[in-house]
Each structure stands twice: as structure tokens, then as C-alpha cells.
């Protein structure tokens, strides 16, 4: 509640509590999906956030439970709705599954009729086509692209194109380079010191993972100690991309 109050004073108005994170170091702290094993405490946190933010201004991301032996749905979802939640997001795996196996989209479809607030889907949405298939199969109100967006931020534009009945524009070398340079610019603006460089050395290979030579680029980026070296590695990898204008804003 105090965190929400401080953030509201800073100008923020909408909040989301992730009770779905399955990273072990998060679970060990009793946070993320570990909250699903202590439902009364999870509801106390939810009510404190809603009291500070106002009804409907907080959403909650859930999983099916900590493991298959301790399911929390639909009971927890209904109690969060009664507390004033504005929306819920469900990643239909247990915390113990992590990202293993296949997301149970049928669990999304089963939960939808129980709720009067929007339910968003997460899990195995690696492309815009996956997203539209999930909407059709489950009846959810919307989607939360996660790992799919990390590999391809254009997934949102692709989704919008499909919703208009258009074929998404294929990503060419020029567009890919522009997207990477934009990410670099944002990282340099918002990350302190050399943290942006270390971050981008791991992020860039995600964007090009499906292209020939991606592993070699990853290895080369790990040896880069400055932005000029990163730019040179990208130019070499995306040979023929005329990116001089874009680079002039960054290097």
C-alpha cells in the first residue's frame, strides 16, 4: 500500500502485481508465484494496493498455483474480483513448471465464464498468430505478450496488422537494424554507466536468433567493450544495411 501511495504521488495511476513470476530467487523470498501458496496474505496485499490506488486500478497476474497439488483457481480469481481488481492475467502453468511443457489455454477458457472483469492471457504467445489463436480459442479479453516480445518487439505491430486483416510486414535487415538501434538508444538513455552495454550484448542476439550466424554474433558481442565495437559487429552481421544516418544519432 505504501509503495502504491508513493507511486501515485509521482503521477502513476495504474498498477499490476505479478503473482506469477516463477524465477527461483523470487520464489525463495516468498514473492512472485510463491504468494499463491499464502492466499490470505496475497489478498491482504491486494486489498492494501486497491485501497491506495482505488477500485479497478490494480490488476493481478496469476498462475494455476504453486504446483499441481495446490491449485488456486477459480477461488483466488473470484476473491480478487470481489476485492476490486480491475483485471486479471493468467499464465496457465504452475510455478513449478516454470516455462516447461505447454501452456494450458483450456484453463483460460474455463476461467473466463467465472469473471465479470477482463481476463488477459499469457504463456506461449511467441507470435501474433499465436495471440490471435489464443483469443479465438479461449475467449479472453486481451493478451500479455512476454517472451515473444523480447525476441520480436514488432509482435505488437504484427498483431495490429492481423486484426486489420493484413499480412504482417516481414522484418528485413534495414528494419531489424533500425529496431536494434532504437533499443540501444533507449538503453543508453535509461541505464546508468556501462550497464546499457552489458544489457544490449545479451539482448541483440534475441532479435537475430533465427538468422544464419546468430551464434557467432553473440560471441562477437560478448567481446565488445564499447558502442563503436557493437556498431561494427552489427554492420558486419547485417551486411548491406545502409544505417549511417541512424548511427549518427547514437555513436
Give me the active site residues, please: 21
β pairing state of 58-63 and 87-91: parallel
Q: Measured between alpha carbons, how far is 24 from 86 in angstroms, rounded to an integer?
A: 28
Distances in Å between the Cα of 113 and the Cα atoms of 36, 77, 89, 119, 215 are 21, 12, 14, 10, 45
What would the grid cell of residue 213 be? 550466424
- Could you tell me how far CA 177 lies from the centroid of its own chain? 22
Output the CA angle 107-110-112, nearest 5 degrees: 110
Amino acid at each position: 500500500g505504501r509503495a502504491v501511495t508513493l507511486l501515485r504521488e509521482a503521477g502513476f495511476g495504474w498498477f499490476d502485481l505479478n503473482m506469477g513470476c516463477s524465477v527461483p530467487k523470487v520464489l525463495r523470498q516468498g514473492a512472485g508465484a510463491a504468494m499463491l501458496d499464502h492466499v490470505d496474505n496475497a489478498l491482504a496485499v491486494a486489498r492494501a494496493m486497491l485501497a491506495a490506488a482505488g477500485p479497478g486500478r490494480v490488476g493481478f497476474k496469476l498462475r494455476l498455483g504453486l504446483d499441481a497439488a495446490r491449485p488456486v483457481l477459480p477461488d483466488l480469481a473470484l476473491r480478487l474480483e470481489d476485492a476490486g481488481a480491475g483485471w486479471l492475467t493468467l499464465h496457465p502453468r504452475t510455478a513449478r513448471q516454470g516455462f516447461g511443457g505447454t501452456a494450458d489455454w483450456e484453463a483460460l477458457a474455463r476461467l473466463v465464464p467465472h469473471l465479470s472483469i477482463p481476463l488477459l492471457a499469457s504463456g506461449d504467445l511467441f507470435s501474433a498468430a499465436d495471440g490471435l489463436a489464443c483469443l479465438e480459442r479461449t475467449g479472453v479479453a486481451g493478451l500479455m505478450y512476454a517472451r515473444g516480445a523480447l525476441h520480436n518487439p514488432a509482435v505488437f505491430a504484427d498483431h495490429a496488422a492481423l486484426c486489420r486483416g493484413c499480412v504482417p510486414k516481414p522484418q528485413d535487415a534495414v528494419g531489424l537494424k533500425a529496431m536494434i538501434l532504437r533499443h540501444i538508444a533507449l538503453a543508453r538513455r535509461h541505464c546508468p554507466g556501462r550497464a546499457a552495454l552489458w544489457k544490449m550484448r545479451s539482448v541483440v542476439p534475441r532479435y537475430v536468433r533465427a538468422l544464419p550466424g546468430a551464434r557467432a554474433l553473440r560471441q562477437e558481442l560478448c567481446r565488445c567493450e564499447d558502442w563503436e565495437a557493437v556498431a561494427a559487429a552489427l554492420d558486419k552481421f547485417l551486411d548491406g544495411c545502409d544505417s549511417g544516418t541512424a548511427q549518427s544519432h547514437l555513436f
